[in-house]
Structure 1
Amino acid sequence: MDTPLKFINNQIVEYSMQVTYNPLENEGTIVYNLFLIPVIEREYAIQLLKRVTSAGITVGDMVRFVEPGETLEGYRIPEGMLGICTLCSITLDGILLRRGIVTNPIGGGVIEVESNLPRRFTHMILYEATTFDPLQVMASQDLTSVNRVMKEGNGNILGNVRECHMEAETLLAEVLDECVDSHFSGILEVGMPNASILGVSVSPQYLGIVALGGTNPFAAMKEDGYPVTTLAIKGLMDCRLMDPISHF
């Protein structure tokens, strides 16, 4: 029997229902991305992650390193490669769902930044129209300039957008305030009801929420000429298996 195609929006909904992460307590299950780099580039990756985290161009400061030959949820890290697990922004949809806020995932793409302010999406792939993670696709097309944004405040970074009903606006603000001092961050912008956000239209009586993509650090690594294999939205993980990048 043929297996039907599963579009990314369906995958996001399935994962978000399994997220149990509490940002105030830093406990529970998160969605993670997995990246593979040559193990000899470990120190470079650590320093890059610290820079991107300090610049605020990442979903959060939590990371897990998986050594060559180790197995992660049935996936074996190839010899000579280092696995790096980071928070995926889809975790946000799960955090909101646990608080009674249902989100509709719209899509992911490239955000133009000028003077450290997000201006607009310049490229976008809708989640309902793809079986690949849009940010993984965008990073592979050399459309980012994350390093330039960190240095000059201008360039292109990766982000995604979802919408929620405007009646949840007050509760949404409370939840996002809780995230400010937590290990989960990366909320780039919240729109007004019935208004587009960074050039992306939302449904009537809804408002948009833009989050940074967890792929940004590794887009920066790719810009520096380092080989990176990206396995976005890889799975679910207990956040206790991760540590702040500042601990390394």
Structure 2
Amino acid sequence: MNPPLKFVNNKIEDYALQTTYDPAKNEGSIVYNLSLVKTGDLEFAISVLKDANRSGISMSGLVKFLEPEKKISGLTIPPGCTGICTMCSISFDGILIRHGIPVRPIGGGIVEIENRTPVRFTHMILYEHTTIDPLQVLMSQKTTSVTDVMRKGSGNILANIREFHMEAEPLVGQVLDELSGSNFSGVLDVGMPNVPLLGVPVSPQFIGIAAIGGTNPLAAIREADRWIQVQAMKGLIDVSEMDEIRDY
């Protein structure tokens, strides 16, 4: 008998509840995305990851590289490839939950950026309606222009949105202040109670908060016509196993 389908919103909740990352101490576990690139493209991939981090288009500068034959989360890195672990934006949901803030994941999509300011979601896939990560789907459809955003400040990037009850707004503000001094740099925009955020409606008495998709640097690599395979929300990893991309 086949196991029941697991929609992305359920998967997000599972991983978010297991996230233990403490931004103030920079310790604990986060949700990570796993990507495979050709080993010959590794230097190029590193340069893109650095540019994305400097441009604020990545969730974090934390990264882990895996050589061929190394194993992680049941996957063996194939010959000729290098694995890249980066922070998944679902880690943000875990941080909020860890601070006692219940969140409702809404969906992932494409956000139009103009002069480095988010304008609106132009595409949106609701988590409750898909079993595949929306950002992974949209990246495969070549709907992004992350490189343009990094270089010119305008274009389309991957992002996601969740909502929290308006009574938690002061606590969310404290968390965002805490994150501002950490390795986390992924908050895109925060809305107002009962008001759509970047064109996406929220529930009554709730506030939307959008985060940069953790797969944006990987989308930029793909935009350069380099081979890359991405598995979003691959698993959990302790940040002690990761390094800062600026150190490479």
For this structure pair, what is the TM-score category when the shorter chain's length is used for normalisation? over 0.9
| Secondary structure at 2:148 match in 1 | helix
1:186 match: 186
2:238 match: 238
* C-alpha distance in 2 between matches for 1:150 and 1:73: 31
1:109 match: 109
**Which aligned runs of 4 or more in structure 1 are off by greater than 4 angstroms?**
none
* C-alpha distance in 1 between matches for 2:244 and 2:102: 29
Deviations 1:109-168 (A, max 9, x none): 000011110000000000000000000000111100011111111110000000000000
| 5+ long unaligned stretches in structure 2 | none
TM-score for the superposition, normalised by structure 1 = 0.99
1:69 match: 69
How far is the alpha carbon of 1:73 from its aligned partner? 2.0
- 1:87-236 paired onto structure 2 within 5 Å: 87-236=87-236
* C-alpha distance in 1 between matches for 2:33 and 2:75: 13
Deviations 1:188-242 (A, max 9, x none): 0010011000000000000000000011001111111101101000000111000
Aligned residue-pair number = 248
Letter in 2 for 1:240: S
Letter in 2 for 1:168: A
* C-alpha distance in 1 between matches for 2:92 and 2:25: 15
* C-alpha distance in 2 between matches for 1:198 and 1:5: 30
* C-alpha distance in 2 between matches for 1:74 and 1:128: 26
Letter in 2 for 1:16: A
| Secondary structure at 1:83 match in 2 | strand
| Secondary structure at 1:17 match in 2 | helix
Query: Is 1:31 matched up with 2:31?
Result: yes
| Secondary structure at 1:197 match in 2 | coil
| 5+ long unaligned stretches in structure 1 | none
* C-alpha distance in 1 between matches for 2:13 and 2:129: 15
How far is the alpha carbon of 1:2 from its aligned partner? 2.4
| Secondary structure at 2:138 match in 1 | helix
Contact kept, 8 Å, 2:73 with 2:234, in 1: the verdict is no
| Secondary structure at 2:18 match in 1 | coil
* C-alpha distance in 2 between matches for 1:71 and 1:44: 23
Of residues 121-130 and 70-79 in structure 1, the stretch that sits farther from structure 2 once superposed is 70-79
* C-alpha distance in 2 between matches for 1:151 and 1:92: 26
| Secondary structure at 1:208 match in 2 | strand
TM-score for the superposition, normalised by structure 2 = 0.99
* C-alpha distance in 2 between matches for 1:67 and 1:167: 47
* C-alpha distance in 2 between matches for 1:207 and 1:240: 33
| Secondary structure at 1:136 match in 2 | helix
Over the aligned positions, Cα root-mean-square deviation in angstroms equals 0.6
Identity of aligned residues (%): 55
How far is the alpha carbon of 1:15 from its aligned partner? 0.4
Contact kept, 8 Å, 2:59 with 2:89, in 1: the verdict is yes
